Amino acid sequence: MIGTTLRLDGAPLSQFELARGLAASGFDVSVFVKEDGPLRDRYRASGILVDLMPELTCSASVPVWYEADVSRLARRLRANAPDMIIASTVDAFEAIDAARIAGIPSLWNIREDEVWRARLADRHTAIAARALAAFSYPAVVIFVAAASMKSWQDFVPADRRHLIFNASTLRADMYDTASRQAVRTRLGIAPSEQMAVSVGTLCERKSQVDFARAVASASARIRPVFVGKAEPGYREKTEAALGDAHPRAIFTGALPDAGEMIAAADMLVCSSRSEAFPRTLLEAAALGTPIIATSLDGTKERLRDGESALLYPPGDPASLSRLLEQLATNGALGRKLAETANVRVTQTWTHENMIAAYASEVRKALA
């Protein structure tokens, strides 16, 4: 399995859970990535070999360098002699390209839904063309949302594209009332305050600044908690958007266990302007935390506005502010949303279902 990083971000965490599930299904799994991080310890504890592969870094700007880099990567893959390569995210296209050169079957897991021109804009046009061509190489390309498939389907043969929803390993009983209260006490959140948590890298794509503006204009007593590492300059931008609400805001940075924050919160807020189906929504649904999210196509595939979540247009902090107030003052609504989301997202499509679907696709590709 090929990934980009071992950080505690959504795609790497999902790849870890997939690797662990496939290993438990009888496959001999090894994982190679470009960038090290804390997930290495979880792989080691699960008995899965994980290591850095410098050859995964291929030139993004000079075509002749890219050709040399991807050929070197192909030689490394051929030397390892796997029966199959499974790559995760669009950014791993070099591994798919190298697997083709090395004559190794591949499966590609796409977790993004951005317009392809924007997603590959930082590559030389010839290298971006190689990335798009790579979509025709795998035995199967698996998307985590129909919206993601729609964004890339022009490049994938119809008989090779497949949809498998993500699933969560979390359960509501993992965090009891005492542990949830301990988190709130540690953060200094009073029982009378509403804890609204946002989980993910602080960046333009996830648009936490919209959440900050919504909190600043809300009349309810909202305590915003931002969980995640910030891209350069984005925390300062978010703090400025909070205005007078800034003293109430909590920035935790990246955490080894964001689940405890979601479990302790009165609501989870996903303000992203581009996502397939965010991992945080899976976790909130599993843990029984009401969801407020942007009405992206991938989100609407699995959640219904007013039934299992409160949805609002991306980039509309005024609407988000109204929904924060609505949920903060209507506990019955929050409980209904959480219960429905748990059934709709977690119980109807389990982690076991997801692993079985991937295992089936791997076996068919190997055959």
Give the tens place of pLDDT for each residue, 255-286.
988 999 999 999 999 999 988 888 999 999 99
72 shares its domain with 97: yes
Q: Facing residues of 49 across strands?
A: 30
Whether the model pTM is above 0.75: yes
CA 124 from centre of chain: 26
Task: Sheet containing 85-88: give its strands across.
Answer: 85-88, 106-110, 140-143, 161-163
Quick check: is 5 in a domain? no
120 shares its domain with 184: no
Quick check: is 4 in a domain? no
Quick check: is 331 in a domain? yes
* CA-based nearest residue to 298, from 110, 132, 128, 134: 110
Work out the burial of residue 347: count CB atoms within 10 Å of its CB; fewer than 13 is exposed, 13-18 middle, 19 or more buried.
Answer: exposed
- Phi, psi dihedral angles at 266 (to 5 degrees): -85, -20
23 shares its domain with 72: yes
pLDDT of amino acid 319: 97
Quick check: is 1 in a domain? no
- List the domain range (segments joined by +) for residue 140: 10-167+350-366
* Tokens read off for 300: 């609407």
Quick check: is 233 in a domain? yes
359 shares its domain with 292: no
Residue type, 181: Q
Residue 251 and residue 53: Cα distance in Å, rounded? Answer: 33
216 shares its domain with 86: no
307 shares its domain with 328: yes
pLDDT of amino acid 340: 97
196 shares its domain with 108: no
| DSSP track, 293-356 | EE--HHHHHH--BTTTBEEE-TT-HHHHHHHHHHHHT-HHHHHHHHHHHIIIIIISS-HHHHHH
The H-or-E segment that residue 25 falls in is none
CATH of the domain at 288: 3.40.50.2000
* CA-based nearest residue to 285, from 147, 168, 120: 168
Quick check: is 2 in a domain? no
Quick check: is 3 in a domain? no
101 shares its domain with 191: no
181 shares its domain with 158: no
* Tokens read off for 91: 């950014």
pLDDT of amino acid 97: 97
Residue 138 and residue 164: Cα distance in Å, rounded? Answer: 16
Q: How many domains is the chain partitioned into structurally?
A: 2
308 shares its domain with 355: no
84 shares its domain with 113: yes
Quick check: is 268 in a domain? yes
* Tokens read off for 341: 């989301």
Which residue ranges of the chain lie beneath pLDDT 50? none
Contact 222, 196 (CB under 8 A): yes
177 shares its domain with 38: no
Residue 35 and residue 53: Cα distance in Å, rounded? Answer: 9
